[in-house]
């Protein structure tokens, strides 16, 4: 008996971190997520790609329940995702989220943005929170902008602050919902470099993106979605050089030959 339970805990501690089982969601008549099964291991970097409207952003947002689901189960580190209330808030604190439109708190300085969750959710004292916030801002390369307001920063800087804000909560997993899609081309790399660094440091990451270069170099696995289904899952090399499904071949031929 003891051995069995120890073995189970072992699996939870080292293996599967995010598990989605037959998740379904509708927007009205549109079946936007269809029987999604997806397992993400601890330390894994999974890149979700696919044509727009394929449900990849929705998938990303269901994992911390910014979108509700109609059926199926989502567990994070062995705990089923609570429907609402304090339990949900507690779980969200463990799941970092980076948005396409940055969503930094507009009325707070960069430093306050990164301190807020630490103080209000993690109950850290102000001094420790500020120390960690400044260290994280230095790490993503915007330490000099700490006293400014978000609107005074470039898009790339704002997105790096948003990554620091999510990291400040010491999340178990980070969700990136098209983090570079709203950026000017010359700012995309500064954000991708921060994400590459995170991946190398062993952070578990789920990244919805159109940046195929990032998928190739940083991902352990590529998940290809189309029309609300996961069509293909493969290692990046295999997926980009030798996609199995016609849908993926079609998609890649459209984006890679320009």
Partner 1 sequence: MFDFLSDYDDPTLLGAFWVTVQLTVLSAIGSLIWGTLLAAMRVSPVPLMRGFGTAYVNIVRNIPLTVIIVFTSLGLANIFGVTMGVPDDFEAKAFRLAVLGLVAYTGAFVCEAIRSGINTVPVGQAEAARAIGLSFSQVLRLIVLPQAFRSVIGPLANVLIALTKNTTVAATIGVAEAALLMKDMIENEAQTVLIGAVFAFGFVVLTLPTGLILGWLSKRLAVKR
Minimum Å gap between C-beta 91 and partner 1 is 8
Q: Which is nearer to partner 1, 28 or 85 (CB)?
A: 85
> Could you identify the residue written with the tokens 């306050």?
112
Q: Which is nearer to partner 1, 56 or 92 (CB)?
A: 92
Stretch of 158-166, 179-187, 192-200, 245-253 lying at the interface with partner 1 (CB under 8 A) = 158-166
Q: Which residue in the set 12, 41, 66, 135 belongs to the binding site for partner 1 (CB under 8 A)?
A: 66
Minimum Å gap between C-beta 104 and partner 1 is 7
Decide: is 166 part of the binding site for partner 1 (CB under 8 A): yes
In the shown chain, the binding pattern of residues 71 to 110 toward partner 1, with x for contact by CB under 8 A and - for none, equals -------------x-x--xxxxxxxxx-x-x-xxxxx---
Nearest to 209 by CA among 230, 187, 192, 232: 192
Q: Which is nearer to partner 1, 151 or 256 (CB)?
A: 151
In the shown chain, the binding pattern of residues 17 to 56 toward partner 1, with x for contact by CB under 8 A and - for none, equals ----------------------------------------
Binding site for partner 1 (CB under 8 A): 64, 66, 84, 86, 89-97, 99, 101, 103-107, 116-117, 120-121, 149, 151-152, 162, 165-166, 169
């Amino acid at each position: 008996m003891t051995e069995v339970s120890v073995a189970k805990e072992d699996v939870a501690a080292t293996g599967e971190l995010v598990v989605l089982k037959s998740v379904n969601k509708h927007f009205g008549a549109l079946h936007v997520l269809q029987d999604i099964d997806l397992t993400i291991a601890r330390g894994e970097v999974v890149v979700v790609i696919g044509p727009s409207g394929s449900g990849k952003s929705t998938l990303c947002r269901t994992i911390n329940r910014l979108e509700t689901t109609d059926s199926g189960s989502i567990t994070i580190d062995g705990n089923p995702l609570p429907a609402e209330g304090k339990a949900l808030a507690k779980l969200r604190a463990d799941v970092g989220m980076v948005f396409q439109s940055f969503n930094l708190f507009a009325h707070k300085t960069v430093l306050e943005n990164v301190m807020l969750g630490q103080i209000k959710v993690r109950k850290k004292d102000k001094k420790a929170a500020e120390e960690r916030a400044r260290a994280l801002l230095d790490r993503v390369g915007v330490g000099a902008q700490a006293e400014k307001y978000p609107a005074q920063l470039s898009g790339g800087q704002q997105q790096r602050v948003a990554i620091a804000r999510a990291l400040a909560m010491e999340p178990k997993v980070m969700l990136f919902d098209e983090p570079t899609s709203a950026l000017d081309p010359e700012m995309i790399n500064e954000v991708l470099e921060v994400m590459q660094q995170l991946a190398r440091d062993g952070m578990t990451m789920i990244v919805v993106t159109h940046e195929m270069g990032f998928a190739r170099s940083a991902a352990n696995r590529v998940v290809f979605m189309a029309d609300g289904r996961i069509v293909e899952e493969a290692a990046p090399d295999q997926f980009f050089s030798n996609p199995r499904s016609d849908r993926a071949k079609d998609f890649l031929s459209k984006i890679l030959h320009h």
